[in-house]
Amino acid sequence: MLWIQLSIRKFYRKEKKCKILLNFPLYIAKRYLVSKSSNNAINIITIIASLGTIVATAALFVVLSGFSGLKNFSLAFFKAADPDIKITASFGKTFIYTDSLTRSLKNDKSIAHFSKILEERAFFNYRNKEHIAYIKGVDNKYLHVIRIDTALLAGHWLSPDFPYGVVVGNGIASKLSLGIDYLDPLTIYVPKPGDTYNLENPSDLVHSIETRSTGIFSFIDDIDGKYVYAYLPVVQELLQYPLERISGISIKLAKGVKTSDFAQKLQIKIGPQYKVQTRAQLNAVFYKMLNTENLVLYFIFTLVLIIALFNIIGAIIMMILDKRSNLKTLLNLGMSIKELKKVFVYQGFLLSIFGLIVGLALGLLLVFLQDQFHLFMINDFLAYPVAFTYKNILLVIITMVILGYLAARIASSRIGRKMLE
């Protein structure tokens, strides 16, 4: 029995030695990494290289998280102002709301709510002050699709008890010096349809209605200076359209429905005479701008990371020169040049991974603290937004692993027979 136990122990010792021999370059790299060099300057350079990598990794993650927060913050305004899906006419500005289209929308379980809209460019006059913007007619289901009433600065949303009331964007209200006013009218003018006009009588050129401002809303400058909301029948009266003629349908989808997939199916279902667009397609320029800015920021801070990794290249090269005598001994003992290069590839890669782990942990901590305790403020009431996403973590890891490996390969390429002679 004792002989069997001794044989098993001997076998495990041999196995351990074999594993060390198989991973000998990695074993040496670990020893070089944790042990101090006899040259104090090399130790300082290695510490500086590690700190540079840590700071660059943390900065890359923090900047990506900050931009993700800004992106979500900006898109929240468009989410409040634009529907999940919008149906418009493929040709022309308006279309007839048919019974078949009604059935298609009402019978679709993916649709939570939908609302008819009609918008047109108009001329606004209030106390002899003038401005050109859009009049947007909405029905009584509009607030189920878009909660624009949550953006009211003053007054209240459209009410059936006061059908000729309007809700005005803050930008338009500022230009017209308009507030909540039930006495002085806000007069809205639009050109009359037709090819021939009586130029001797200017009133024949336009059609107008008088409304009263019952509310002021504020989203972002582009929307605040663009829209005045009114009830759909009032706008149809202004444009002299029948009740069935509208310019679009806003749709709110049920929870869990993927917007892009639904838009494609709906387009096929209702036919080519209608154009189905998602919120991203409605704001394609803005989304493209955000993605471009994100890409530019990523490349800029990746460049900072590359510069930091040059310190690792320098540290590894200094280590190679310092360990030249050891390398000659290892070469004489039977290690190949390829295996010697592996030693410093592993060492540089491990140094990069150490910088990645510590830097990413530091970045995660900073993002968490900003999200919870608002360390940095845009103004007295608004903290700088950040967003924690696994996509950013994965992007930082992949970037650092690839660049760290390349840096280690570049540094180890200095090893050759001439250098060891």
Domain regions of the chain by residue span: 25-75+287-420, 84-282
Angle at the Cα of 377 from the Cα atoms of 372 and 381, rounded to 5 degrees: 90
Segment 147-186, tens digit of pLDDT: 888 889 999 999 988 999 999 999 999 999 999 999 999 9
Q: Answer left, alpha or beta for residue 340, where phi above 0 means left and psi between -120 and 50 means alpha.
A: alpha
**More confident of the two residues 19 and 144:** 144
**Predicted confidence band of residue 95 (pLDDT cuts 50, 70, 90):** very high
Q: Residue 189 and residue 135: Cα distance in Å, rounded?
A: 10
231 token code pair: 């009830």
User: Pairing state of beta strands 165-169 and 227-231?
Assistant: antiparallel
Q: Which tokens hold the place of 140?
A: 């009584």
Output the six-digit token pair for 378.
């845009």
Number of H helices, E strands in the chain: 15, 12
Name the pLDDT band for 202 (thresholds 50, 70, 90). low
Torsion angle in degrees (nearest 10) through CA of 61, 67, 73, 77: -150
Please state, in angstroms and rounded to a whole number, the distance separating the CA atoms of residues 124 and 136: 13
294 close to 67: Cβ distance less than 8 angstroms: yes
Report the distance separating Cα 94 and Cα 117, nearest Å: 10
Is the pLDDT at 114 greater than 50? The verdict is yes
Q: Among residues 116, 211, 202, which one has the least CA distance to residue 159?
A: 211
What's the rounded Cα separation, in Å, for the pair 385 and 389? 13
Q: Which amino acid is at 206?
A: V
pTM of the model: 0.80
Q: Which residues pair with 136 in a beta bridge?
A: 119, 229
Distance CA 173, CA 167 (A): 10
Average pLDDT, integer, range 377-399? 92
Rounded distance between C-alpha atoms, residue 92 and residue 102, angstroms: 20
Alpha-carbon distance of 371 to 90, in angstroms, equals 44
According to the model, what pLDDT value does residue 12 have? 36
Closest CA to 230 of 117, 145, 85: 117
Confidence (pLDDT) at 201: 56
Q: Give the single-character DSSP code of 359.
A: H
Mean pLDDT confidence for 182-206: 76
Rounded to the nearest angstrom, the gap between the alpha carbon of residue 19 and the centroid of all alpha carbons in its chain is 47
| Lowest-confidence segment of 42-46, 126-130, 160-164, 352-356 by average pLDDT | 42-46
Two tokens at 411? 């540094």
Of 14, 13, 30, the C-alpha closest to 349 is 30
* Cα 246 from chain centroid (whole Å): 33
Q: How far is 344 from 87, CA to CA, in rounded Å?
A: 61
Instruction: Say what the pLDDT of residue 195 is.
Output: 54
Q: What is the mean pLDDT of the chain?
A: 88
Q: What's the token pair of residue 66?
A: 């900050």
- Residue 196 CB neighbour total at 10 angstroms: 6
User: Is pLDDT of 187 > 90?
Assistant: yes
Q: What is the CA radius of gyration of the chain?
A: 34
Residues across the chain: 421
For the cut 70, the answer to whether the pLDDT of residue 14 exceeds it is no
pLDDT of residue 146: 93
Answer whether residue 3 shows pLDDT above 60: no
What does the pLDDT average to over 195-203?
A: 55
pLDDT in tens, 301-329: 999 999 989 988 998 988 888 888 888 88
State residue 200's pLDDT score.
Answer: 57
Cα–Cα dist 389/209, whole Å: 51
Residue 286 predicted with pLDDT over 90:
no
Rounded to 5 degrees, φ, ψ at 350 are -65, -35
- Quote the tokens at residue 372: 């919870």
Averaged pLDDT for residues 322-345: 87
CA distance 329 to 123: 89
pLDDT higher than 70, residue 121: yes
pLDDT at res. 421: 65
- Highest-confidence range of 79-88, 106-115, 147-156, by mean pLDDT? 106-115
Q: pLDDT at residue 19 above 60?
A: no
Confidence (pLDDT) at 249: 97
| Continuous H helices in 82-136 | 99-106
pLDDT on residue 355: 94
- CA dist 98 and 196 (Å) reads 31
Report whether 186 contacts 210 (CB < 8 A): yes
Q: What pLDDT sits at residue 26? A: 86
- Asked whether residue 198 carries a pLDDT value surpassing 60, the answer given is no
Give dist(CA 238, CA 416) in Å, integer.
Answer: 85
Instruction: Give the per-residue pLDDT at 152.
Output: 93
Any bridge partners for residue 115, and if so which? 250
pLDDT over threshold 70, residue 2: no
